[in-house]
Amino acid sequence: MSGHSKWASIKHKKAAVDAKRGKIFTKIIREITVAAKTGGGDPDTNPRLRLAISNAKSSNMPADNIDRAVKKGTGTLDGFTYEEVVYEGYGAAGVAIYVQCLTDNKNRTVSEIRNIFSKKNGNLAGAGSVAWIFEMKGLITVDANAATEDKLMEIVLNAGAEDFSREGDNFEIVTQPHDFEAVKKAIEDAKIPVGTAALTRIPKNLTPVDAANARSVLDLIEALEDHDDVQNVYANCDIPDEVMKEVG
């Protein structure tokens, strides 16, 4: 089965470099709070909360932090009220960018996100301008040394995976959202450690980015990801490996 998303591979590489625990904790706590607010505080009946808690544990977040975030979401503890907002725009070379935020002040956030786009050679666009490019999928990664390709492929396809590929040092498994938990559980039941697991947005098509524009595109994405209110940034850039090595 063919590879599906050069951007997914770029994000994995960036995550290893950009892992700032404090900022990661802040984003996870907000996600737990909103998940608990919208779907209730019981992870057994709230898949979004269950995934958020799983990600928190994978990031070694203390149990007390998780518990407080859930209680703030359900109203048991006082806390900020976060609202989910999405911004769409374009970077250099016409790269489509989709930004998910959780904010307690929409006016502040939209002003700051617009400013980031403007300063980094991009432009904010209207609602729906690029959303259609990205499909919601489950994405699971497994270290290529953790299992043989044939064994892992058999496990995930039998469990309902949609796509399987080798991307650098990882195997990447793509699922429909409703099959995500079953595929993840099948891998774990086989005693194969999961690297990352998330519901994400994968582009239907990719925009080629040459060396002249790659740094500009990555600078915009990094600036957006570094903003406190931003939870996720998705882009449809296709940057060749040799260019990625040049721009670092």
Residue 16, amino acid: A
CA angle 16, 21, 24 (to 5 degrees): 85
Q: How many CA atoms lie within 13 A of 128 on its CB side?
A: 0
Helix (H, G, I), strand (E, B) or coil at 213: helix
- Distance CA(75)–CA(72), nearest Å, equals 5
Q: CA dist 206 to 6, 53, 159, 237, Å? A: 8, 32, 28, 6
Helix pair 211-225, 106-119: axis angle to 10 deg? 160
Domains of the chain: 18-74 (1.10.10.200), 83-132+206-247 (3.30.70.980), 133-203 (3.30.70.980)
User: What does the pLDDT profile of the chain (248 residues) look like in tens digits?
Assistant: 333 445 555 554 455 444 555 678 899 999 999 999 999 999 999 999 999 999 999 889 999 999 999 999 999 999 888 999 999 999 999 999 999 999 999 999 999 999 999 999 999 999 999 999 999 999 999 999 999 999 999 999 999 999 999 988 999 999 999 999 999 999 999 999 999 899 999 999 999 999 999 999 999 999 999 999 999 999 999 988 788 778 76
- Model confidence, pTM: 0.87
* Token duo for residue 114: 């617009």
Q: Which residues pair with 233 in a beta bridge?
A: 99
